[in-house]
Amino acid sequence: MSKLSRVDRSGDPKQFFRFLKTVLPYKRLLLAAVFCMLVYTVFQNFGLLTLVPFLDRVCVGNPIELTTSLNVPFRDHVDGLIEYLNSVKRYPNLLNILIIFIGVSFFFKTIADYFQQYLWERIGQGVVRDMRQRIYNHFHDLSMEFFSKTRTGEMATRITYDTSMIMEAISRRFANSILSMLQIPVSLYIMITIDPAATFMCLVIVPIVMVPIILVGKKVRKLARKAQERIADITSVIFETLTGMRIVKAFSMEDYERKKFLNKNNRIFNILVKTAQKVSFIGPMTEYITVVISAVVVYYLVRKVIKGDLTFGTLGLFLVALGAIVKPLRNLPKLAVAYYRTMAAATRIYELLDTESTITEVPGAIELEPVRERIEFRNVSFSYDNNEGSVLGNINLEVEHGEIIAIVGPSGVGKTSLVNLIPRFYDVSEGAILIDGVDIRDVMFSSLRGQIGLVTQETILFNDTIGNNIAYGRMDAGTKDIVKAARTANAHDFIMEMEKGYDTDVGEQGQLLSGGQRQRLAIARALLKDPDILILDEATSALDTESEILVKEALERLMEKRTVFVIAHRLSTIQHADKIIVLDGGSIVQSGSHAELIKEDGVYKKLYEMQFQV
């Protein structure tokens, strides 16, 4: 399949486990981060266990006691330490010990906190980087059919916004939420040893809190998916408007484009506000439930203190432990929302990564030898979609090595579609294309496309230097080869007139150059590649007279000793072709030289008379 799936699978547990695998390459960093989190938790809870009894001893004079039922490692040594601390003079000795203890504990806690936050950030950024690279690499594996049916904004959103959403699940904030949840077991242990009944009352919070989180979470997941799709809409509008700004201004469509963007912008605004409304409900509700139950527990325990069944210091310890549980419970809604948003983004990413190219190499594909004899179209038919009508039907054509074949016909008859089949941008629906008797579907992409040069009407240049654009496809080429290709393409003179010469940046899509200059750079690029097969698709149709003369001279040099397919709207440019084929209705209706076709009462003669007003 080549289309992106629209099925919402963000609630599928398989997607979550698949997402977890992206962290595996960072398992060492992950283990280090978890270790630091555990160290942080130990010192956090160690302080929790000791600080209140210490203060109780220093301030009130109550002896430090270890709850009888509390089972800790090295109990005998701990009892000995407690006995010593109870014998130490409260002021200043025990107070000094307390201050030193606080300083050392917080020192190690701070160090562990720093490293766990740094390591989680490193892991998160690494996962996002790897995911973006996977998506970008996958783009290059997909066929042209995918790119013709998928919006550029949609693809850009998945590689930028969707991947950044993944960071939310592996961020410091997320890690801190997990960190606080690690304290729950220790806190529960402390609370149970103090008062099991009060602890049970506290545990009632958990199922009550989870109900709204689950119910609202499902809706948040769907809204997150919609939000990401709407962001793709906005990205597409921005891209189309910015690249087509000349047309927008030329037709005075600024207000129309503003309204169109406003409509898209409002749609995503409404979705995000709706999401915020639902998410905002969870937090206060969770906090209210937590406060009510905590108040009941405090009331219960304070009564025990008044009766003398519980010391004030032990009550303080219970409340501190309770606070350590309440904090992660309050963060639980944010954690759930982050999870649902991440799964929505991850699902969209995996939909893209699971998209398979419709054009693939067969197992054991062979190396295509340089063209020596002919290229043959044998009963070729083609359609862009099996459910649509054929663009080309029953094409039979033989092109001898070194021949120049011109392809003409009315607009929309399949001229470009025909030449796009040669480098396998698309595959034939029926029939076969053979080079020296070898079906091109049986050869490696690199060996096939390595022998083909392409020059189109809409010249594609990259935002790089002139030299790198000419060397594109042969990045190992030396300066002499680049200059030689530029000279042959009539480009060297205008290049040297520029301040930085071959190091001049051409701008986005080559917009800092004129149309004729861009075209000559494209010809120089094809010359440097030195292909056996050359495809010229309307290569001179959009040029002024002076530029056309220079480009024609360059093209004549480029076509020497090559097999050339020329698509031309201007029939004056292809009269010297070895063979002219005329397409109409997706089929070849005429074939021959200019002199032969002009004598026939057919499509070619009509096109010729229309252009020259004979």
Do the beta carbons of residue 533 and residue 422 sit within 8 Å?
yes
440-474: b (≥16 Cβ within 10 Å) or e: bbebeeeebbbbbbbbbbebebeeebbbbbbbbee
pLDDT band at residue 465, thresholds of 50, 70 and 90? very high
**pLDDT at 551 > cutoff 60:** yes
Q: What does the pLDDT read at residue 306?
A: 85
Q: Quick one: pLDDT at residue 581?
A: 92
User: Is pLDDT of 29 > 70?
Assistant: yes
Model pLDDT, residue 499: 86
Q: Record the tokens describing residue 508, joined without a space.
A: 């986005």
Q: How far apart are CA 226 and CA 57, in angstroms?
A: 59
DSSP 3-state assignment of 381?
strand
- 3 state SS of 582: strand
Edge-to-edge strand ranges of the sheet holding 533-537? 452-456, 533-537, 563-567, 404-408, 579-584, 587-592
CATH superfamily, region 460-530: P-loop containing nucleotide triphosphate hydrolases (3.40.50.300)
The whole-chain average pLDDT of the chain stands at: 81
* Residue 82 clears pLDDT 90, i.e. is over it: no
pLDDT digits over 91-127, tens only? 777 777 777 777 787 888 889 888 888 888 888 888 8
| pLDDT tens, position by position, 340-378 | 778 888 888 888 888 888 888 889 899 998 888 889 999
Query: At 32, is the pLDDT very low, low, confident or very high (cuts 50, 70, 90)?
Result: very high
Residue from 18, 44, 19 nearest 338 by CA: 19
* Domain residue limits, the chain: 13-353, 460-530
What's CA 331's distance to the chain center, in Å?
28
Check whether 1 has a pLDDT greater than 60: no
pLDDT digits (tens, 9 = 90+) for 322-345: 877 777 777 777 777 777 778 888
pLDDT (tens digit per residue) in 250-297: 777 888 888 888 888 888 888 888 877 777 777 677 777 777 888 888
Euclidean distance between the first and final Cα of the chain, in Å? 50
Distance CA 45, CA 187 (A): 8
The full 3-state SS of 54-106, as one line of letters, equals: HHHHHHHCCCCCCCCCCCCCCHHHHHHHHHHHHHCCHHHHHHHHHHHHHHHHH
Q: What is the mean pLDDT of residues 529-556?
A: 76
- Identical fold for domains 13-353 and 460-530, yes or no, is no
pLDDT at residue 379 in the model: 93
Compute the distance between CA of residue 199 and CA of residue 191 in angstroms, rounded to an integer. Answer: 6
| pLDDT value, residue 311 | 74
Q: Which of 357, 224, 364, 205 is nearest to 291 (CA)?
A: 205
Question: CB-based contacts of 44: which residues, under 8 Å, 6+ apart?
Answer: 109, 183, 324
pLDDT per position as a tens digit, 490-521 = 889 999 998 899 999 988 878 888 888 888 89
For the structural domain made of 13-353, what CATH number should be given? 1.20.1560.10
Count of beta carbons in the 10 Å neighbourhood of residue 497? 9
**Residue 579 has what DSSP assignment?**
E
Q: What is the pLDDT of residue 480?
A: 92
> Model confidence at 169, in pLDDT bands (50, 70, 90)?
low
434 pLDDT higher than 90: yes
- Which residue type does 532 have? D
- pLDDT higher at 610 or 183: 610
At 388, the pLDDT band (50, 70, 90 cuts) reads low
